[in-house]
Chains A and B, each alone.
Chain A
Amino acid sequence: KQEVTQIPAALSVPEGENLVLNCSFTDSAIYNLQWFRQDPGKGLTSLLLIQSSQREQTSGRLNASLDKSSGRSTLYIAASQPGDSATYLCALLIQGAQKLVFGQGTRLTINP
């Protein structure tokens, strides 16, 4: 059974800092890994998708990496801004099951 862990559960940093969010998983049999952002009470906004054959993807100030052999993904946020405050979730699309398995998320607060 695929298990997804996100560390830390919460993170508070001052504006302008670069930061890394971590996601680890137990089974490397995945199609892809997706990072989402969720604002309080809202739906999920897709940030980045990494296919299982890829090592990283970049979008603006965001960079996500994937290392299937070690069961790890990181989301790097450069020059953080207060508007980046949200919960960040990683999710794996596992082979055969056609479903996403989510981590519990990291609640990020960027202080002005």
Chain B
Amino acid sequence: KAGVTQTPRYLIKTRGQQVTLSCSPISGHRSVSWYQQTPGQGLQFLFEYFSETQRNKGNFPGRFSGRQFSNSRSEMNVSTLELGDSALYLCASSKIRASGRIVDEQFFGPGTRLTVL
């Protein structure tokens, strides 16, 4: 069974540009979450999607957005890039119980390393 895949693996952008990252969850997993990892702040939650709907969002500015498609694949977008957006962006997928809740193991992809110059 294929794991969570993320593309691209590495990106270099300049300030002011925008970027789109992609995540394909494990087959059958319908919840996709995004996290940002930096040396100073550690792992921080960005948002979670289920059934093409954003159900929860972390404390990030509106420049960070995302979406989920009907096949559960997800993309996140960062507009007007800042130096501080340089980070490893991780995507996680999970099954959803009938209650609509995530209660099971979450699996992470290899991440996209974004460098903003």
Contact = CB atoms under 8 A, between A and B. Distances in A.
Interface of A: 31-32, 34, 36, 41-46, 49, 51, 89, 91, 93, 97-105
Interface residues of B, number: 27
A42 B58 CA distance: 23
Interface in B24-63: 31, 33, 35, 42-43, 45, 48, 55-56, 58
A46 B45 CA distance: 17
Q: Tell me the interface secondary structure of chain A in the complex.
A: strand
B106 to A, nearest CB: 6
Contacts, number: 61
Given A36-B108, A43-B110, A46-B108, A99 B103 contact: no
Given A32-B103, A42-B110, A100-B106, 7 more contacts: A36-B108, A43-B90, A44-B90, A89-B43, A98-B102, A100-B33, A102-B43
A43 B42 contact: no
A31 to B, nearest CB: 5
